[in-house]
Amino acid sequence: MEGRLTQLELEDRLELALTARTYGDLAGLTADLPADGPAVDGPVVDEVVELESKNGHIKRSGDWAVPRRLRIASKYGSVELDLSEAVISHPVVEIHLDLKYGSAKIVLPDGAAADIDRFRTEWGNTVTSEVPGRPQPGALYLVVSGEAKYGSLAIRYPRKRWFTH
């Protein structure tokens, strides 16, 4: 067999998917399917990517492939992640930030949500999010963890651009 579902299996899985109330209800629907399938167009994205900087800034924007897990360590620089035009093939993306003296700004695509409850700051710095904290149906859900000793974290949607003619 080529890893294809029979009509009956498909109907059973569709019924379970359509009646699911939590992500946990959906987890088992694809667990037994083969991992290797036919090649698809698009970038190959690593499961985990680690970025590190001691003095410089870490910046990603435009058309870039977002991994399922991103670990970023920055000692003195800032972190800017713009996911608004990125290729994101996972419904949930986890970002772990280890910031010493820098801050992080994350821009999400419209409709996305972010859980920032696992991120901590010290020395009175702020963590702000202008996006929903709960998962939104069919939209990216970002889970941010880690800490900033002397920095802050801001999460928002893209700013609207006004063009004049």
pLDDT in tens, 145-158: 999 998 899 999 99
Instruction: Give me the chain's average pLDDT, please.
Output: 85
- What's the pTM value of the predicted model, to 2 decimals? 0.71
Residue 60's beta-bridge partner residues? 81
How far is the C-alpha of 163 from the C-alpha of 80, rounded, in Å?
24
How far is the C-alpha of 25 from the C-alpha of 70, rounded, in Å?
26
Longest dimension (CA), the chain: 59
The one-letter amino acid code at 15 reads E
User: The tokens of 103 are what?
Assistant: 């801050």
Q: What is the pLDDT of residues 91-127, one digit of tens each?
A: 999 999 999 988 999 999 999 999 999 999 888 678 9
Beta strands, E only, 30-103:
48-53, 58-60, 65-66, 69-74, 79-82, 87-88, 92-99
